[in-house]
Amino acid sequence: MSSPEPIVAKGLGRQFADNVVIEPLDVSVDRGQRVGIVGADGAGKTTLLQMLAGILDPTEGECRVLGFDTRRGAKQIAARIGYMSQGFTLYDRLSVKENLRFAARIRDVPDELYRERSERLLTMSGLGRFTDRPAAKLSGGMRKKLSLCTNLVHEPELLILDEPGLGVDPLSRRHLWAMLDRFRAQGLTMVVATSYMDEAELCDRILLLEQGRVLADGSLEELLRPAAGRVFTVNAGNTGRGLRELSGILAHIESVHSVQWLPDHLRLVMNADIAENQLAELLPAGTHLAAAEPRLEDLFVLRTEKRTGEQQFPELARQDRGKEEGLVATGLSVRFGHFKAVDRVSFEAPSGELLALLGPNGAGKTTLIRALCGLVAIDEGSARVAGVSSGGGSTALRRQIGYMSQRFSLYLELTPWENLRFFANAYGLAGGAARAAIDWAREVTGLTDIPDKLTGDLSSALRQRLALACSLLHRPRVLFLDEPTSGVDPVARYRFWRVIRELAASGMTVLVTTHYLEEAAYCDRLALMLDGRLLAHGSRSSLNHSLGLEADATVETLFTAAIEQAGTANSRALGP
Amino acid sequence: MKAHRLGALIVKESRELIRDPVTVALAVIMPLIMLFLFGYAVNLDVEQVAVGIYDLDNTPASRDLTARFDSSRYFQLEQKTTDLRDLESALQSSTISMGVVIPAGFARQLLRGDEAPVQVIVDGGYPVLGRLASAYAEAVIANFPAPRQSAVRVQARVWFNPSLRSVNFVIPGLFAVILMAFPPLLTALAIVREKETGTIEQIYASPVTSTEFVVGKLVPYGLVAFLEILMVMVVGFAWFQVPIAGSPILLLTSAFVYVLTTVGIGLLVSSLVRTQLAAMLITLIVTLMPSFLFSGFLFPLFTMPLALQLYSWLFPAGYFMEISRGIVLKSAGLEAVLPNLMMLIVYTVLVFVFAAWRMKQKVA
């Protein structure tokens, strides 16, 4: 067997019951290649990787990995590959060393090789100082690094990684990729599922996956070619017009495919090649138009037929409520036992501001929101929401706030209408008032024709809008959105952010958490959180300025710089 | 099966177990709680039955009979009345479980040497108690005023548990129930926990075979179960002062085989389901419930309908129940317990083969 190809899949497909998750696909990966699998949540990335790793049997076609059939030769494959799943791959009660040693022994690594390799891996990952620490007490970034080590200790020929950067702070993510680069230099073949653009850019080749189909396959440049020359940004410039007016004009231009609403400009994707000056002629004089770099998201958008982000939107009455009506937190801390989930956080968000709370999993974003909503007790400091104190969780507070939780807390066994009814009644609205509130919320969220199905059978994009509608029924002054866009495709996300921007413009204060750092672009100001602490807080440009970065630095770069400025992430994550 | 992989699994599993003090504490405390609760609560001895006496005679003879009831350890005089309605309402409200009616003229008839009828009214709401109480009452009355002579004399002698203490019978039975209840519960969570956290995917994607994985779980949990045996037995024999007639070594050995079976059942459940909640519920239903009903712990199996008797053979608790009571009460030797022991061994092997076979090596 003269070094068989790492992966050769023929007609590989998988369905669960009637649900086709991966449509039959042919794919082969060359030795030493780094392949990125990119797609929205639910596109089938994990299923594909599990089939490649031989731990999930295909329902159609076949796949050979390193020369072995994934159905019959799963154990031979297992001995030769590393597979890092998305979730927890470590034993919390075992120490760093014990986890690594366990991984080595079950993968038949002889003791002398283990000693030599473990030392090298631990040094490389920066875990050398923490060998006796239980895995449970490692930060998210360190856990990922240790997981990676456990999958490298047997020196696999092929490494399969499922969203290695998910929920990891940007600095740790950079370290993780530095490790991957060193192994790549040694000729290790890699298949990486990712939803991060910058990670995709580090791959030789990208498989763009959408609903189980390969949308595109090639290098990043090849993939982006169809969108080249079709992406523009527009702002009102010196015309004195608002974005809303501008978008009204764009709605009449045939070739505009989609409009994405950002704080101070609109981003357009055209459905045909158009020269910049041609487009400029269609716009009012004085508008500022510029060509923009295409992104992978634009490809998804181009695939959809309808013009998106252009839904009819009701004019919302602007209510200026003054500064004190927004959000104010002063030295706010929440402890769970000895663990400080939120550590002396202070910030202000005036009425009508759209504030993004950014940070990796476990940074304390959800706890902070829950404390502001009065759902968890505040141990130190204080918070005022729309002029009402957050302590105690009073009814006065609840009337002022809307809260959309991470998992869209809807009743899946009720229809959308029944859900809306229930939440209206829960907020004390009945009869005509309830109907009016529901109509208004449906109009705002674009849920004018809801299908008569159970909520559980709706797409995640529809569920997201329904959850938003439910949290808006009582017209809250402050809206909390906890990871509102996870699991939703880019097109639906554009529409969602448009609604959120309009709500903020009407005077509602909106606090959004997200771990998609790119989404920070939609927000007026950013609050960066790590390990319970607020690292930095301000508008993107002012933060870039204060950290000495270029004005157009990405949120990734900004976050990384903020962590570095606050001291190394690791030493702090590990505490005293 | 490779020794170093199995070793790694056992070491890993043991470390996780030892570092989970709550689970270990539960594994130790729960069986003891059950032992004490049931050791005291399940008392089949009928003593101190509350009696009410409706004495219409009110003579030295009738008072003497009343005193006989009062002094018997099986009865306790709760009420003496001259109104029938009192007796009735006392029976209804369960203040007494038995009423004795001594009619007027009782003493006179006795003196004359006639039959002197006495009425005994027993609360039949709880049949076992009622039957025993009426039998005891008959014995008291039959020996009044003096034991009667009869041509045939019965000399009953009780073997194996001469004092007829029910605790001597309940405790060895409880061993079978407790070892069926707790070790599988603990193990049932063992594999499912890895499924829930996701660590199992690392096992799938490694050369570890399902047999290695299952045996790697069995050894540490089997040891914990063995500790449970030791503890439950020491406390059972010492605290409840149950004499052990047969060989303690044989009892311990059989118990070890038995916990391998029960731990195996836990692993089997664990390999079949996906969530810890399901694992716990199913384990409770397939272990605890049948071990009460179909093991002969309280209800003798031979009185059950044939279909249920056949059903009871499906549960290993019955086999160990016989072994345990045999050794503790009847001093049964290896020869006597061997058939049941063989059944347990066969059962264990089957459960393991099935668990290892069902333990998938893939996500789906």
Q: How would you classify the pairing of strands A388-389 and B49-55? A: unpaired
Q: Does residue B201 sit at the A interface (CB-CB below 8 Å)?
A: yes
Which tens digit of pLDDT belongs to each residue from B281-293? Answer: 999 888 888 888 8
State in Å, rounded, how far the first CA of chain A is from the last one.
53
Average pLDDT of span B4-21: 92
Q: Rounded to an integer, what is the distance from CA A405 to the centroid of its chain?
A: 15
φ, ψ dihedrals at A358, nearest 5°: -110, 150
Q: Say how far apart CA A343 and CA B266 lie, in whole Å.
A: 43
For residue A25, the cross-strand partners are A12
Beta-carbon separation of B202 and A150 below 8 A: yes
| Closest Cα in chain B, distance from residue A100 (Å) | 11
| Closest Cα in chain A, distance from residue B284 (Å) | 27
| Chain A residues touching residue B19 (CB < 8 angstroms) | 93, 134
The neighbour count for residue A414, using CB atoms within 10 Å, is 15
Of B260, B221, B215, nearest to B18 by C-alpha is B221
Question: Which of A528-532, B63-67, B83-87, B148-152 is the least confident region?
Answer: B148-152
Average pLDDT of span B160-188: 85
Q: Say how far apart CA B343 and CA B325 lie, in whole Å.
A: 16
Q: Say how far apart CA B177 and CA B34 lie, in whole Å.
A: 9
Beta-carbon separation of B206 and A103 below 8 A: yes
Q: Does residue A137 sit at the B interface (CB-CB below 8 Å)?
A: no
User: A336 Cβ partners below 8 Å, 6+ apart?
Assistant: none
Beta-carbon separation of A55 and B205 below 8 A: yes
pLDDT at position A161, please? 95
Nearest CA in chain B to A79: B207
Which of A80, A86, A105, A151 should we substitute to test contact with B (largest number of B Cβ atoms within 10 Å)? A105
| Tokens 């990734």 found at | A556
Could you say which DSSP state residue B47 is in?
-
| Chain A residues touching residue B11 (CB < 8 angstroms) | 102
| Tokens 């154990």 found at | A75
Q: Does residue A79 sit at the B interface (CB-CB below 8 Å)?
A: yes
Q: Say how far apart CA B203 and CA B114 lie, in whole Å.
A: 87
Q: How would you classify the pairing of strands B49-55 and A213-218? A: unpaired
| Chain B residues touching residue A94 (CB < 8 angstroms) | 12, 15-16
Which tens digit of pLDDT belongs to each residue from B316-339? Answer: 899 999 999 999 988 888 889 999
User: In the numeric block, which tokens belong to residue A145?
Assistant: 């690094």
User: In the numeric block, which tokens belong to residue A165?
Assistant: 């950067």
**Residue B24 identity (one-letter amino acid):** V
User: In the numeric block, which tokens belong to residue A146?
Assistant: 């240790």
Q: Say how far apart CA B228 and CA A144 lie, in whole Å.
A: 38
Q: What is the pTM of this model?
A: 0.79
For residue A69, the cross-strand partners are A64
The shortest CB-CB distance from B15 to any of A56, A79, A94 is to A94
pLDDT at position A576, please? 35
Query: Cα angle at A52 between A49 and A54, to 5 degrees?
Result: 115
Q: Which B-chain residues 207-236 have CB contacts (< 8 A) with chain A?
A: 207-209
Q: How would you classify the pairing of strands A525-530 and B49-55? A: unpaired
The shortest CB-CB distance from A105 to any of B4, B201, B362 is to B4
Q: Say how far apart CA A214 and CA A43 lie, in whole Å.
A: 10
pLDDT for residue B109 is more than 50:
yes
**Strand spans (E) along B22-87:** 49-55, 75-81
Q: How many residues does chain A have?
A: 576
The shortest CB-CB distance from B206 to any of A98, A107, A134 is to A107
The shortest CB-CB distance from B362 to any of A74, A85, A107 is to A74
Which tens digit of pLDDT belongs to each residue from A370-425? Answer: 899 888 889 999 888 888 888 766 778 888 889 888 777 888 889 999 999 999 99
pLDDT at position A248, please? 81
What pLDDT tens digit does each residue of chain A (576 aa) get?
A: 457 899 999 999 999 888 889 999 999 999 999 999 988 777 889 999 999 999 999 999 999 999 999 999 888 999 999 999 987 789 999 999 999 999 999 999 999 999 999 999 999 988 988 899 999 888 888 899 999 999 999 999 999 999 888 778 888 888 899 999 999 999 999 999 987 777 888 899 999 888 889 988 999 888 888 888 889 999 887 777 777 788 888 878 888 888 888 877 888 888 877 888 888 888 888 888 888 888 888 887 787 765 544 556 666 766 655 555 788 999 999 998 888 889 999 998 988 899 999 888 778 888 999 899 888 889 999 888 888 888 766 778 888 889 888 777 888 889 999 999 999 998 888 889 999 999 999 888 888 777 788 888 887 778 888 999 999 998 899 999 988 877 677 777 888 888 888 888 888 999 998 877 778 888 889 999 988 899 989 988 889 898 888 877 888 888 888 888 886 544 444 443
pLDDT at position B149, please? 66
Q: Does residue A118 sit at the B interface (CB-CB below 8 Å)?
A: no
Average pLDDT of span B252-263: 92
| Chain B residues touching residue A53 (CB < 8 angstroms) | 205
| Closest Cα in chain B, distance from residue A368 (Å) | 25
Average pLDDT of span B151-177: 80
Q: A329: number of CA atoms within 13 Å, CB side?
A: 26
